[in-house]
Amino acid sequence: AQLTAPTVDLTGKRILVTAGGTRERLDPVRFLTNDSSGKMGYAVAAAAQRAGATVTLITAPTALTVPRGVTVVPIESTQELADAVTSRFPQADALIMAAAVADFQPLTAATQKIKKTADNDELTLTLKKTPDILKTVAPMKQADQVVVGFAAETQELLKNGRQKLRHKHLDMLAANDVSRADIGFNGDNNQVTFLFADGTSQQTPVASKRVIGERLIEQVAKLFAKK
């Protein structure tokens, strides 16, 4: 049974959502990743689906169940996520990048398991920057497409958020203060500030990720209406 009725109607809209923390391979049994649980992205995908949209969820590995009716595309690395997003973006009406994307990946992934050797007390990893997916997508963006980013910040939430909104050419950015223990990455609750390209902003109350997902989808519907 549905606990809350969809508050907006996105019937006919194709919405691409990304979720989870990407994994960057070090060797066949090890990878670098981050604290993302994927809960926020899954909540956004579920809210979009309840609103009637056709939803594709591109997801890094998580412990979560894919919402019913949502098409799932599993990825692991940032490069795989970048390929999955860029190939599907032209057919999408909106892209919502809730994935926690690794900023760096090992320069090379070892083909065999890295061994500890008797003479090495230290191991140095060389990392290289991953592609910035939102920046890659920006030049492909059509006037009627909506692009939403997330930003997890530990300081200067609004200043850093505004900068990302501009640099990544977003219609909206959901900024999230991850220095607070009660909200964010792993919990079930969240609080975000929606920043818009027109300079306005709106803060949600602390609420379940389900509710935050619904509020976000309401904002996406408003952005469609303005296009």
- The b-or-e profile of 65-76 (16+ CB within 10 A means b, else e) is ebbeebeebebb
Per the annotation, the verdict on 120 as an active-site residue is: no
Distance of closest approach, residue 213 Cβ to ligand CTP, in angstroms: 15
Are 162 and 130 contacting, i.e. CB atoms less than 8 angstroms apart? no
Q: Applying CB under 5 A, does 103 fall inside the site for Ca ion?
A: yes
Are 106 and 125 contacting, i.e. CB atoms less than 8 angstroms apart? yes
The one of Ca ion, ligand CTP, none whose footprint includes residue 16, by CB under 5 to 8 A per kind, is: none
> Do the strands 71-74 and 54-59 form a parallel or antiparallel pair, or are they unpaired?
parallel
By CB under 6 A, the residues from 151 to 210 that bind ligand CTP are 151-152, 164
Figure out which of the listed residues 150, 183, 184, 216 binds ligand CTP, where binding follows CB under 6 A. Answer: 150
Q: Which is nearer to ligand CTP, 6 or 59 (CB)?
A: 59
> Which stretches does DSSP call E strand in 131-191?
146-153, 172-177, 189-190
Are 16 and 97 contacting, i.e. CB atoms less than 8 angstroms apart? no
Which residues, in sequence order, are CB contacts of 50 under 8 Å at separation 6+? 2, 6, 214
Which residues, in sequence order, are CB contacts of 74 under 8 Å at separation 6+? 59, 61
Q: Applying CB under 6 A, does 212 fall inside the site for ligand CTP?
A: no
> Do the strands 71-74 and 30-32 form a parallel or antiparallel pair, or are they unpaired?
unpaired
Question: CA 127, CA 94: separation in Å to the nearest integer?
Answer: 32
Distance of closest approach, residue 103 Cβ to ligand CTP, in angstroms: 5
Q: Which is nearer to Ca ion, 9 or 103 (CB)?
A: 103
Q: Which is nearer to ligand CTP, 6 or 40 (CB)?
A: 40
Figure out which of the listed residues 132, 191, 196, 224 binds ligand CTP, where binding follows CB under 6 A. Answer: 132
By CB under 6 A, the residues from 62 to 121 that bind ligand CTP are 78, 97, 99, 101, 103
Distance of closest approach, residue 64 Cβ to ligand CTP, in angstroms: 17
Residue 194: both structure tokens together: 């929606």
3-state secondary structure of 76: coil
**Which range touches Ca ion (CB under 5 A), out of 19-27, 96-104, 135-143, 158-166?**
96-104
By CB under 5 A, the residues from 123 to 162 that bind Ca ion are none
Question: CA 63, CA 166: separation in Å to the nearest integer?
Answer: 33
| Binding-site residue ranges for CTP | 103, 113, 131-134, 150, 164, 168
Which residues lie near ligand CTP (CB under 6 A)?
78, 97, 99, 101, 103, 130-134, 149-152, 164
Residues assigned a catalytic role: 34
Which residues lie near Ca ion (CB under 5 A)?
103
